[in-house]
């Protein structure tokens, strides 16, 4: 979450008055994240999250994201729900941006996930994948191979100003992944961005999943690979195989990974690391210095990519043979 677009007191009061949630009492911007503008809004009925969708989010994708949240909630997945105004509308406009008010989810995200947190995440991810099986809408993953190449073209030689030699490193990895990328694996709805700050816990138990604005239809095992990158490395970027084992074993207690998925896991983990290396580099080069947003360090994902390049088998992630 972040704030790129400012909203005046008067604009927000008028906006909130169109909902049956009581009068506005306070609001503040949320600096975490990088994609949309987010505010914590308090009314007489309690807290809500207001999201203004910025330029990277296409308006035509919003029905997919919002419909998915409603579908998941109906399937028993704890996640925020879009709030309808008095006219039954979910998607609105505020300060010149598409805007949605969503329910507030109780819980905290953990900055240093434990083994137990990783296991909880694994279970929640598998249940999310199973709940999405009968979701009728589809959306292509625009941050897979073609999207990575487009980002690389946009970054160009500027990458070397972020990390020396980064341009050639990315070019070589794109060529490798383009020649070897997985196909024919089980496909479904994936979150695609299930980092610790998108998973809430209460008493060390998952209380809910948030931020579905990268969700799409792609290989389910790719989502697992994203989580290996996001949850199973320590602050010094050393890989914690015990956390990875806990995540994968918990996932498999809910949904068994197929042999082809397991065999592809090192490749998918490389792709996931490259994806976040690219987007972090792009954001670092293109974020407005005046925006209330914390840019993230691309070098973290360069180190993770190098780790996955050395992996030869899914067993290196802590799983035994099936």
User: For the segment 44-94, what is each residue's pLDDT rounded down to a tens digit?
Assistant: 999 999 999 987 788 899 999 999 999 999 999 999 999 999 999 999 999
Mean pLDDT (whole number) for 175-193: 98
In the chain, % of residues over pLDDT 90:
86
Q: How far apart are the C-alpha atoms of 174 and 154, rounded to whole Å?
A: 14
What does the buried/exposed string (b/e) look like for 39-64 if buried means 16 or more CB atoms within 10 Å of the residue's CB? bebebeeeebbbbbbbeebeeebbeb
Angle at 294 between CA 61 and CA 229, to 5 degrees: 70
Q: What is the 3-state secondary structure (H, E, C) of 267-318?
A: HHHHHHHHHHHHHHHHHHHHCCCCCECCCCCCHHHHHHHHHHHHCCCHHHHC
Q: How far apart are CA 286 and CA 295, in angstroms?
A: 10
Res 304: pLDDT: 98
Computed over every residue of the chain, the mean pLDDT equals 93
Q: Write down the pLDDT at residue 33.
A: 52
Q: Are strands 205-209 and 187-190 parallel, antiparallel or unpaired?
A: unpaired
Q: How far apart are the first and last CA of the chain?
A: 39
Helix (H) or strand (E) holding 65: helix 62-74
Q: How far apart are CA 170 and CA 168, in angstroms?
A: 5
pLDDT at 223: 98
Q: Which residues, other chains included, contact 269 with Cβ-Cβ below 8 Å and sequence gap of 6+?
A: 225, 228, 229, 308, 311, 317
Q: Let me know: does 69 contact 85? Beta carbons within 8 Å.
A: no
Q: Which of 1-5, 147-151, 229-233 has the lowest mean pLDDT?
A: 1-5
DSSP H or E segment with residue 16: helix 9-17
Q: pLDDT category, 228, cuts 50, 70, 90?
A: very high
Distances (CA, A) of 204 to 66, 107, 121, 210, 247: 27, 10, 11, 17, 14
H runs (alpha helix) in 163-298: 166-180, 220-231, 241-254, 259-286
212's tokens? 């579905």
- Strands in 24-29's sheet, in edge-to-edge order, are 24-29, 37-43, 46-52, 97-103, 92-94
Give the pLDDT confidence of 104-123 residue by residue, as tens digits. 999 999 999 999 999 999 99
Tokens 């400012």: give the residue. Answer: 6
Q: Given this model, what pLDDT does residue 264 score?
A: 98
**Quick one: pLDDT at residue 1?**
41
CA distances from 301 to 11, 169, 298 (A): 39, 12, 6
Can you give the three-state secondary structure of 105-158, one letter per residue?
CCCECCCCCCHHHHHHHHHHHHHHHHHCCCCCCCCECCCCHHHHHHHHHHHHHH
What Å distances lie between residue 195 and 64, 104, 111, 116, CA to CA?
A: 21, 18, 10, 16
pTM score > 0.75 for this model?
A: yes
Give the model's pLDDT for residue 142.
94
pLDDT at 4 (0 to 100): 74
Instruction: List, for residues 240-290, the tens digit of each pLDDT value.
Output: 999 999 999 999 999 999 999 999 999 999 999 999 999 999 999 987 655
**Is 95's pLDDT higher than 70?**
yes
User: What's the rounded Cα separation, in Å, for the pair 49 and 47?
Assistant: 7
Work out the pLDDT band at 320, boundaries 50, 70, 90. confident
Tokens 């479904």 belong to 188
On the 0-12 / 13-18 / 19+ scale of CB atoms within 10 A, 184 is exposed
d(CA 201, CA 206): 4
């Amino acid at each position: 979450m972040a704030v790129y677009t400012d909203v005046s007191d008067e604009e927000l009061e008028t906006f909130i008055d169109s909902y049956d949630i009581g009068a506005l009492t306070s609001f503040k911007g949320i600096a975490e994240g990088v994609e949309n503008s987010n505010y914590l809004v308090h009314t007489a009925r309690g807290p809500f999250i207001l999201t203004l969708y910025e330029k990277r989010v296409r308006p035509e994708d919003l029905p997919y994201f919002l419909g998915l949240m409603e579908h998941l909630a109906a399937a028993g997945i704890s996640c925020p729900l879009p709030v309808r105004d008095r006219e039954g509308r979910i998607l609105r406009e505020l300060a010149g941006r598409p805007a949605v008010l969503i329910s507030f989810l109780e819980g905290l995200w953990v900055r240093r996930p434990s083994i137990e947190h990783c296991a909880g995440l694994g279970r929640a991810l598998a249940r999310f994948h199973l709940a999405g099986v009968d979701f009728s809408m589809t959306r292509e993953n625009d941050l897979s191979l073609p999207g990575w190449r487009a980002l690389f073209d946009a970054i160009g030689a500027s990458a070397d100003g972020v990390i020396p030699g980064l341009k050639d490193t990315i070019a070589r990895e794109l060529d490798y992944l383009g020649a070897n990328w997985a196909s024919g694996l089980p496909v479904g709805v994936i979150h695609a961005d299930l980092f610790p700050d998108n998973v809430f816990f209460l008493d060390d138990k998952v209380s809910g999943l948030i931020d579905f604005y990268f969700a799409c239809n792609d290989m389910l095992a790719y989502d697992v690979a994203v989580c290996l990158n996001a949850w199973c490395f320590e602050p010094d970027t050393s890989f914690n195989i015990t956390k990875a084992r806990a995540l994968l074993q918990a996932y498999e207690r809910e949904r068994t990974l197929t042999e082809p998925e397991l065999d592809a896991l090192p490749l998918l983990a490389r792709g996931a690391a490259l994806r976040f290396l690219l987007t972090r580099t792009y954001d670092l080069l293109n974020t407005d210095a005046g925006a209330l947003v914390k840019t993230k360090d691309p070098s973290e994902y360069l180190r993770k990519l190098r780790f996955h390049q050395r992996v030869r088998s899914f067993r290196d992630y802590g799983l035994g043979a099936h």
